[in-house]
Every structure is written in structure tokens, then in C-alpha cells.
């Protein structure tokens, strides 16, 4: 299905050239104008080349057709970690401008701390994305730290920001075996069902009408395709999954309810196990609306299988979403690895765009400045589409090119 390596190879050099120019411009002079829309890239390319040849003059290079949006030069408060590139600016045509045409949410996982402390993070997020997912703030240990006590402060910061920026919120996650509050381990098993029911009803109820979709169950299937051995399975039993979906639905019947997992973009026991679990829930009439494919990658997934897998859920009437994409690279990245990374982002987005039931494309963070990868994979990083200085990478251009197709 994807034998258009010729197209990708040509666009690779085009992207590389363009990225080099953007990177050079981010590192060199300030008031180079920003790229317009993709169709005027060639004129900008010529302009960039021309401007690199001579010292920058006033920004007359923008094609007259584009009404240049004044790009704010952000002056960071002394406390915030200002990016290395002194002339931070926003793209003129962000990803979120293109996504609606594909009925797609384009999103990123985020955290309240950088949102409150790093103005570049706050500026890029609302500018580029129309959806956000809490990376950690809605997880058990943070939102339900003590028995009977719920702390919504961190998650509320994210939900409020989303509302202020016309963004949709995807909740993550109600039931997981990790990042549990310490007190849960001490709960007698015969009380665990009541704890989980209260947890789900309280959180989904609190965000009713504000969170459009929830990862109800995260990583409930093991690599053998069977139910993962978790405290929920041990104490409540295998029907903890259908109970969780039923409680979430009762708390907010309008919210879309997802099963979310990793390594299911590959043909293996796990991806089959997830399909069988979801199909069995539907057969029992359990309210479930889709499957989240996390997509934490080091290499390109088999596009044909991924498309077929997404199609198998379409046949069940379910949505699929790319929920946590990142492509980690050996540090330091090279121009070659950055281009390979761009190809992988392009391939996954293209499969999603070509699957009518793929309704969201979310990356697990957006700038290499804040990413889980270096902590969990020492020696790896640079996994996202903006670098640590908020300069857009070849991967960003690949996403925008794919989203801009058909414009």
C-alpha cells in the first residue's frame, strides 16, 4: 500500500533542506520572516536562500497573499528557562489549522508545571494543538492521593487552559496498574471494587462535559494477549474492565470511552488480545467507543498491518486514536536520524489520515525540553516534533505537510 518511497525520498531532501534553513535561521539572525503556508514554501525557500546570502533586511519576503500574523517576540520572565534561540516565534499556519479538515484532533500530552512556568511551552501548545492530554495530572497517585480525598488542582490547570484556547481534553487514565497512590496497596481486596467505583465516578463526574474522551483502561492486556496481572484483576476479577467502562459511562454518558495500550501497532499476541477483549466487551453491550494505540516507537511500524488493524476496529464500529506517539533517537540526533524520525511520524499520520475511523493524533509531549524518554531510556531522547529550544524539527514539517495535503 505504501510503495511511494520515491515520493518520500524526494520529500526527505526537500524537508532536510527546509529544516536546515529553519534550523540555520533559528540559530542565526532574528527577523527572518516565518514560513507561510506550504504552497508558498518554495517562494520562502528562495527567499530564505537569498536572505542567507545577504544580511537580513526588513521582512518584505512574505508573499503578499498572506496576511502576516504579527509574531510576538516573547520576552521571558527572568525565572523561566528561555530557549537558546533568542528569537522564538510561532508558526503562521499551525497544525491545528489543518487538522479539522480531516476531522482529526491534533494533540499533545502536557504537564501543569511547564505550562505555568515556561511561557514558550504555553504559547506553542495552544497555538499548534486543538487537543491536550494530561501526561500525569489525572493519574491515581496525583488526583486521588488519600482515601476519600481527590486533588483536582493540577488537572484543573490543564482543563482551564484548554478551555481558554479552544482545545479539547482527552482524559488519561482512570484504571492503570502503575502510578497508584500508596494507600491503594493496603486496601483489603473485598473493598477494592468500591474504591475503584468511587474513583471513576468522582473523577468522570468532576469533569463531566469538560473531558470529551477517557482512557478508561490503560495497558490491561499483557504481552501474551491475556489480561495483565494487576491489583484490579487480583482483587475484583476479570470483569473489572467491563465494570469500569459501565461506571464511567454512567458518570458521563456523553464521554467517549477508550481502551489504551502500547505495542499493538505490531502483529502479535497482544494486539490480537486487545482486539478480542474489545470485541467481547461490545458483544456484552458494554459502552466502549474506541481503542488508543500509544505508538512509542524506535522504528517505523508495518504500515499495511497498522492500516488493517485500524480497519478491524472500524468493522466493529469503533474509533482508533494515536494517543502517545513519540520516536526516540540515540542522543545526539544526526541529520539522518532526524529525517528517519520525520519519515516515521509522516507514515503513522498518513495511515491515520487514510483510516476513516482514526480521529486523533496525539504525541506524548511536543518539545524535547520535556519528555519522559531520557529518564526511562538513558542515552535516548529527541523524541518529539519541536526541539528543546522550541525550534520545529523535520518531524513537525512532515506532520504539517501531511495535514496540509488536499488544502
* Alpha helix positions (H), 238-391: 240-251, 269-283, 303-314, 335-354, 373-376
Catalytic residue among 319, 324, 401, 402: 324
H or E segment to which residue 41 belongs: helix 41-53
Instruction: Report the residue number, 296 or 400, with the smaller CB distance to ligand G3I.
Output: 296
Find the shortest distance in angstroms from Cβ 262 to ligand G3I: 6
Which residue number, 136 or 168, has a Cβ lying nearer to ligand G3I?
Answer: 136
Q: Could you tell me which of 364, 366, 348, 357 has the C-alpha nearest to residue 403?
A: 348
372 binds ligand G3I (CB under 6 A): yes
Site residue total, ligand G3I (CB under 6 A):
9
Beta bridge partners of 362: 107
Distances (CA, A) of 81 to 56, 86, 118, 322, 388: 27, 12, 7, 30, 11
Residues 170-189 that bind ligand G3I (CB under 6 A): 178-179
Site string for ligand G3I, 52-91 (x = CB under 6 A): ----------------------------------------
Q: In 125-228, where do the E strands start and end?
A: 131-134, 168-175, 211-218
- The phi and psi torsions of 331 (rounded to 5 degrees) equal -85, 145
Cell of 126: 495552544
| Shortest distance, position 170 Cβ to ligand G3I, whole Å | 12
Cα 303 from Cα 320, distance rounded (Å): 15
Q: Quick one: angle between helices 269-283 and 240-251, nearest 10?
A: 60
Q: Which is nearer to ligand G3I, 35 or 261 (CB)?
A: 261
CB of 290 to ligand G3I, least distance (A): 16
Q: Does 35 bind ligand G3I (CB under 6 A)?
A: no
Q: List the grid coordinates of 292.
A: 488508543
Shortest spacing between CB 265 and ligand G3I, in angstroms: 13
Q: Quick one: how far is CA 354 from the chain centroid?
A: 18
> What residues numbered 254-273 form the site for ligand G3I, per CB under 6 A?
262
* Set of cell numbers at residue 92: 503562521
Judge whether 324 counts as a catalytic residue: yes
Nearest in space to 371 (alpha carbons), one of 79, 136, 85 = 136
Query: Minimum Å distance from CB 337 to ligand G3I?
Result: 21
Select 88 or 366, whichever has its Cβ closest to ligand G3I. Answer: 366
- Given the complex with ligand G3I, which of 143 and 397 has the nearer CB atom? 143
Closest approach of Cβ 77 to ligand G3I, in Å?
Answer: 23
> Is residue 354 flagged as an active site residue?
no
CB of 178 to ligand G3I, least distance (A): 5
Please count the other Cβ atoms lying within 10 Å of the Cβ belonging to residue 46.
Answer: 11
Among 135, 265, 343, 387, indicate the residue that binds ligand G3I (CB under 6 A): 135
| Separation of alpha carbons 117 and 157, rounded Å | 12
Q: Which is nearer to ligand G3I, 68 or 379 (CB)?
A: 379
User: Is 10 among the residues that bind ligand G3I (CB under 6 A)?
Assistant: no
The three cell numbers locating residue 50: 537569498
Of 324, 343, 401, 402, which lies in the binding site for ligand G3I, with binding defined by CB under 6 A? 324
Query: Smallest gap, in angstroms, from Cβ of residue 140 to ligand G3I?
Result: 11
Compare residues 93 and 172 and give the one whose CB is closer to ligand G3I: 172
β-strands 380-381, 329-330 pairing: antiparallel
In whole angstroms, how far apart are CA 299 and each of 91, 226, 367? 28, 26, 19
Cis? peptide before 173, omega within 30° of 0 = yes
For residue 191, state whether it binds ligand G3I (rule: CB under 6 A).
no
- Degrees (nearest 5) of the Cα angle 282, 283, 285? 60
Asked if 136 touches ligand G3I (CB under 6 A), the answer is: yes
Number of residue whose CB is nearest ligand G3I: 372
Q: Write the binding mask 284 to 303 for ligand G3I: x where contact by CB under 6 A, - elsewhere.
A: ----------x---------
Query: Would you call 19 exposed, middle or buried from its count of C-beta atoms within 10 A (0-12, 13-18, 19+)?
Result: buried
Q: By C-beta, is 65 or 179 nearer to ligand G3I? A: 179
In the set 35, 128, 135, 219, the catalytic residue is 219
Torsion of CA 137, 139, 142, 144, to 10 degrees: 130
Site for ligand G3I in 217-236 (CB under 6 A): 218
The residues that are catalytic are: 219, 324
- List contacts with ligand G3I (CB under 6 A): 135-136, 178-179, 218, 262, 294, 324, 372
Amino acid at each position: 500500500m505504501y510503495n511511494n518511497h520515491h515520493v518520500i525520498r524526494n520529500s526527505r531532501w526537500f524537508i532536510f533542506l527546509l529544516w536546515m534553513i529553519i534550523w540555520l535561521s533559528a540559530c542565526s539572525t532574528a527577523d527572518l520572516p516565518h514560513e507561510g503556508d506550504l504552497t508558498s514554501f518554495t517562494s520562502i525557500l528562495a527567499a530564505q536562500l537569498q536572505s542567507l546570502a545577504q544580511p537580513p533586511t526588513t521582512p518584505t519576503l512574505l508573499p503578499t497573499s498572506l496576511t502576516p500574523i504579527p509574531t510576538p517576540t516573547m520576552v521571558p520572565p527572568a525565572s523561566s528557562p528561555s530557549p537558546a534561540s533568542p528569537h522564538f516565534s510561532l508558526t503562521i499556519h499551525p497544525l491545528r489549522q489543518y487538522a479539522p479538515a480531516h476531522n482529526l484532533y491534533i494533540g499533545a500530552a502536557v504537564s501543569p508545571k511547564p505550562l505555568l512556568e515556561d511561557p514558550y511551552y504555553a504559547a506553542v501548545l495552544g497555538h499548534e494543538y486543538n487537543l491536550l492530554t494530561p501526561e500525569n495530572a489525572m493519574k491515581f497517585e496525583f488526583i486521588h492521593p488519600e482515601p476519600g480525598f481527590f486533588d483536582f488542582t493540577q488537572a484543573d490547570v490543564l482543563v482551564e487552559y484548554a478551555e481558554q484556547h479552544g482545545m479539547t481534553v482527552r482524559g488519561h487514565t482512570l484504571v492503570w496498574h502503575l502510578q497508584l497512590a500508596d494507600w491503594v496497596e493496603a486496601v483489603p481486596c473485598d473493598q477494592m471494587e468500591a474504591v475503584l467505583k468511587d474513583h471513576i465516578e468522582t473523577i468522570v463526574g468532576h469533569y463531566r462535559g469538560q473531558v470529551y474522551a477517557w482512557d478508561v483502561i490503560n495497558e490491561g492486556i499483557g504481552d501474551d494477549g491475556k489480561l495483565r496481572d494487576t491489583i484490579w484483576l487480583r482483587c475484583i476479577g476479570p470483569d473489572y474492565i467491563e465494570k469500569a467502562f459501565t461506571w464511567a459511562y454512567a458518570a458521563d454518558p456523553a464521554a467517549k470511552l477508550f481502551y489504551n495500550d502500547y505495542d499493538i501497532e505490531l502483529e502479535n499476541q497482544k494486539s490480537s488480545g486487545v482486539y478480542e477483549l474489545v470485541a467481547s466487551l461490545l458483544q456484552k453491550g458494554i459502552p466502549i467507543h474506541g481503542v488508543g494505540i500509544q505508538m512509542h516507537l524506535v522504528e517505523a511500524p508495518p504500515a499495511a498491518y497498522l492500516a488493517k488493524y485500524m480497519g478491524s476496529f472500524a468493522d466493529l464500529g469503533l474509533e482508533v486514536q494515536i494517543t502517545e506517539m513519540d520516536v526516540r533517537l540515540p542522543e545526539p540526533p544526526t541529520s539522518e536520524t532526524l529525517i528517519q524520525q520525520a519519515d516515521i511520524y509522516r507514515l503513522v499520520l498518513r495511515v491515520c489520515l487514510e483510516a476513516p475511523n482514526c480521529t486523533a493524533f496525539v504525541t506524548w509531549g511536543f518539545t524535547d525540553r520535556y519528555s519522559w524518554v531520557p529518564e526511562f531510556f538513558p542515552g535516548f531522547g529527541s523524541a518529539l516534533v519541536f526541539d528543546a529550544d522550541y525550534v520545529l524539527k523535520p518531524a513537525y514539517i512532515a506532520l504539517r505537510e501531511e495535514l496540509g495535503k488536499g488544502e
